[in-house]
Structure 1
Amino acid sequence: PTTPTINGLDDKRVVDGEPLRFEAKVTGFPKPIVEWFYGDDNNLQPIIETDNQAIICEPKQNLYGIEFKSFPSNMAGPYLCRATNSAGMIEKHFAVEIGGKKPTFIKELDETQIVMSVDKQNNKLTLGQSAIFETIVDGIPMPDVEWLKNDQPLCSSPRVLIESNDMEHKLEVKTITKDDVAKYTCKATNKFGEAQTVCLLKFLNEPHEPIIKKPLEDVKIEEGEDLTLFCKVDGEPMPAVRWLKDEQPLEKSSDSRLTLTSNKDGSTQLVIEKVQISDSGKFHVEAENAKGVAATEAKVLVIEPQRPPSFPEPLKELVQVETNKPLILEAQVFGLPPPKIEWLKDGKPIDKSSRIQMVRSDEGKCQLKIDQAKPQDAGVYSLKAINDNGEMLTETKVEVAPEPYAPLIVEDLPVKLQVKVGEPIEIHSKVQSYPLAKVTWMKDMTPLSSAIDERIKITNDNEGQTCLAIQSAKPEDQGTYTLIATNPIGETSVNTKVEVSQPQLEKPVTEEPIIVKDKKDVEQAKSEPEITIKEAMPNQQNVPLGDDIRLSMKLSTNDSTAINADDVRIYKDNIPLQKGDVNDLKITDAGEVQFTHVKCSPQDSGLYRIEIETPAQNLINSCLVNVVSGMYS
């Protein structure tokens, strides 16, 4: 298990009402559980999915996040992402700050119903009284506010008072007359946009031309979504409303997807279900009564759906393939418009060749195929997808395994091991194979394990190293020890003899005096020097098919008479080679043992061992020989 990590999630500064997306790459094993919170540490609130906000969770790609269709200013503040698995927990703090907000009327003029009559009635004005218009507007930065009368700027005067207090704005027209009957507009503007609210001051039950209180707004919408257009009109009497598209009247009966509604308060709405590209155009609303006509229009643009690239079926995290078998990587990509894709290996683009094919179907299935995978094909492969809406990447690690072969002993056991009672026994070896061999240690053909004797410890690693250790040797530990290595391709074994002797009591050593007559007698009295391996054979050697196998080991003696050919034995896979198999064996004056086998064939691959046995000592050295075709030499 590995502790989770979180990458990404920087602080953001956004405009209120605009789309916002947070993305993080969260890794760990096992796959972490990712949670999202809003608020400070003392008041954390979990974030859940709503119509406006979606939780992104794509564990196969380690991709997590939050997406807001329209970020509201009341959600600004601190956020927290938490990732948890069995190995631990990690948290990442980030924040959202509102950097701007279009003007918005919290209180509109139409909420203050103002009409005028010569009769005194509740909530109605009479001539000579004052008309008061009040509104509340919000925005970042704070908007500039302007008042208009019949679309013309209205300035302060002794009879017209304009006041502003932070977000609250007020227009007072004192001692109203018939000339004050008009459309009054409050317009708010900042660098992110503008908004306006409209009110009609009118005589009750006396005709007044229509006005547009809330105009139509341009809309850009994706194909397949529902379109809603809204506007509000006023007049005395309330005007009749007509909808047109590209100057042609819209009737509900003409299209079952259309819904037209009009209300007594002057609001009117058009809904088109599952819009099509052909629904793009100019929409027009006409409001008409006996005093005149008012109109508003908006453009509607229906576009093909837009989606950033994603991988419904990403690449597998790990792909393992054997040498000379086909390597196939597959993923499915989605995006609108369909994204462009690119395959990479270790960050570099992959080009097509006679050995490499790249295929992509109409459904987004992407495939990379490499014929006869080689060890050099191992690495990190990526599939990158790009369109106008974003970029996405999925990747996998490819491991190319060698062709299966039977176990080989590359570090041989000693011919004989001598220990004394109470001393530890340690026998080391190394096995090379694919797949990894199962190693068994035996004594006199009986399997060994710590369950049988707690003094026994057997260790193996993924590199093929193996060790049998027995603490505090006993006389009964003497015997023949066998290492057996097995995998589905084959089996091999090697033996060693262990002798356990009793420790001898030390006795005084007395030597007869040596009478030397001259220098020559002194040299002969000295003990013979020990011979060691000065330069060993390599652990492994690749030999091209048809070439000669040449192996050599150099001894620590320059006396060519110290050993002779009868002292040397050559083994292949633990089997002694006959004289006919040994084409050339030389012992040079420099103390180098040379072995040559001419014109090798594939059957000559194996573990070669040179043993030198003299009355005083044994020397052993091994080399794994691989006979390969010329293209791998």
Structure 2
Amino acid sequence: TAVFETKIDGYPTPKVTWLLNGKPLTPKEGAQVEMNAATGEAKLSIPKVDLQQHAGTVTCRLENPHGIQEETARLDILAAPLITTQLAKQEETVSGKDVTLRVIVRGSPRPEAQWFFNDTPITPENVTFDEEKSEYQLLVKQPTVATSEGTYRVVLKNALGETESTPCVLTVLEPVKLTKSAPTSDVVDLKVGEPFEISFDVGGKEAPKVQLTKDGKEVKFTSVEGTRHVYSIAEVRPEHQGVYKLTAKNKLSTEETNVTLNVTAPLNITQSLTDINTLLGQNGTLSIMCDAFPTPKVAWFFNDTELKNSPKHKIEAKQNVFSLTVNKCDHPDVGTYRVLIDNGIDHSEQTAKLHVGVKPKVEAAKPANDQTCVIGQDTQISWKFSGLEKPQVTW
């Protein structure tokens, strides 16, 4: 209990008012006021003084019609340090962005603060005190994961005792960072059978979520070791061609990068163009089998004149078979046909001849060859045949 006593005098008897830090004290604040008019003694009692509520300047004000008089005294309350607002258990900041740790403490005399980082004392140049709030502050400047991430605490001490804050774990976040190891270019041109690899180091705090897609559909990484993400193909095929997009995302940022894979294959002719023979009025088909990627463009020529689809000529491509059909072959269709195949990286041409034949035909009726011969004399039996090519005759 804090007790203040004074003697007063005046006529008429002055009105006595007690104030704490400029505000009148009432029983609501726990103040007990006594006045002995016979002796002129005035007394103020404040039981169970509280550092936050009662410390400061106590004023006794006397007032009557002839004037006002005041006397003041200091009420200093001694108390061991008491933390009223603890450090946050966890704090997050971005790499390079300053962060302030705060703790509010009551105590008199004013406690000294010693901050610790991972149990190592921190020098006081970045420590401040907000007297109005009774708040101790530690400024962590330009934090990084390597130098600033860890556990912080503060010990507060005065002549009456000491206390320690709960620990605060500071996490330093970093935006996503992509570092490409392979390929060296954003556009890769490969031939069928060659190897292909995408390799990135993906950094960031918190650890980013990483996804790889091909033409919008997710594909799985071949291996993930630490920050290194690898997607590899031992031998590329046409179906591997496309746009590969790597996306990495965390709380702070999202990063994307694209790699375009172009797959090509030189011409591989597995069945060549060959001469054909057909009969007059029948269809004749020239064909060639060729594997290539991209799919080749094919042009057909007859005696160096390019052919197009028409009632006479039918041009088809089914998978790797490319064909030209000459409908109802006639003698003007006889000649040299040429096919030109080109897929942009390789080209080839082949030629073949179309022969139009006529079925063998007996030009003279059999009865005309009936004859009688004399034994021992020569005789001749003959028939006349026609046809293209010249018919082979067997007796």
Query: TM-score scaled by structure 1?
Result: 0.32
> TM-score, normalised on structure 2?
0.47
Which structure has more relative contact order (CA 8 Å, sep 6+)? It is 2
Which structure has the larger Rg? 2
